[in-house]
Amino acid sequence: MPAQQKKIIFCVAGVLSFACALGTAAAIGTQLWVKGTILCKTGALLVNATGQELEKFIGKIQYGLFYGERVRQCGLGGRPFQFSFFPDLLKIIPASIHVSVILFCTVLIVFALVGAGFFMFNAFGSPYETLHGPVGLYLWSFIACSCGCLIMILFSSEVKIHHLSEKIANFKEGSFTFKTHSEHFANSFWIILVCSLVHFLNALLIRFAGFEFPFSKSKDSGPITGAADLMY
C-alpha cells in the first residue's frame, strides 16, 4: 500500500482513538449508565393495587459510577432523592467490582490516548522501535478493547447478578420494600461498547494498511533441493 494511504489510515485510527478517550471520560462523569423503574412493593400490597393503580407506586431510578437519583412513589406522589456511591452506598454495593469498573475506565482512557499518540506518530514520523511500529499499535488497541469489554462485563454483573438497582432503591428505607420493575442500560454504557468496537476496528485498519498481526508465522522458504543440489 502506498505511504500516503497508510498515513491516512493511521490518522483516521488516531482520531477515532482520541474520540473514544473523550467519550469514555464524558461517560464516567454522567449518571446515564442505568435507567429503570422501581415498584414500592409494600405500598402496593397494602392497598392490593392492580392494573393502573400500580402506576402510583412505580418510581424512577437512574445512576452512573459516582452518583444517581431515585424518585420513590408510594401512593403519595414522587419524592426525589439524590445519592452518591462514595461514601454513601459503599457498604451495600459490591465495592470491589464497582472500583474495578472505574479503574478499567481510567485505563481505557489512558491507553486510548496513548494509542492516538502513536497512531499520529506513525502517520507523520518514522517508526524506529517496536513499540512505535505496528506491533505497538496492535498492543494499544488490544489493551483498550480488552478494558472496554471488562468494563461492560463487570458492570453488567454488578447490575444484574448483584441486583444493584434494588440495593440502591432500598437504601435507608425502613418500613418500605422496593423491587426493580424494569431497568435498561443507558447511553454511557453503550458509549463503552462503541469504544471497544472502535479499538477492534483500529486493529483491522492496521492490518488493512499491510501490517501482519503479531505472532503470525511468516511462511519462510525452506532449503531449495533439486537438480542443483545433485551437482555437489
pLDDT for position 217 = 53
pLDDT at position 221 over 80: no
Helix H, strand E, coil C: the string for the chain is: CCHHHHHHHHHHHHHHHHHHHHHHHHHHCCCCCEEEEEEEHHHHHHCCCCHHHHHHHEEEEEECCCEEEEEEECCCCEEEEEEECCCCCCCCCCHHHHHHHHHHHHHHHHHHHHHHHHHHHHHHCCCCCHHHCHHHHHHHHHHHHHHHHHHHHHHHHHHHHCCHHHHHHCCCCCCCCEEEEEEEECHHHHHHHHHHHHHHHHHHHHHHCCCCCCCCCCCCCCCCCCHHHHCC
pLDDT of the residue at 127: 54
**Lowest mean pLDDT across 22-26, 83-87, 164-168, 171-175:** 171-175
Confidence at residue 2, expressed as pLDDT on a 0 to 100 scale: 61
Q: How confident is the model at residue 103 (pLDDT cuts 50, 70, 90)?
A: very high
Return the higher-pLDDT residue of 50 and 27: 27
Mean of the per-residue pLDDT values of the chain: 84
For the cut 70, the answer to whether the pLDDT of residue 219 exceeds it is no
- Residue 76: pLDDT band by 50, 70, 90 thresholds? confident
Query: Domains of the chain by range and CATH?
Result: 3-209 (1.20.140)
| 32-68 confidence digits (pLDDT tens) | 999 999 999 888 888 887 778 888 889 999 999 999 9
Least confident of 154-158, 169-173, 224-228: 224-228
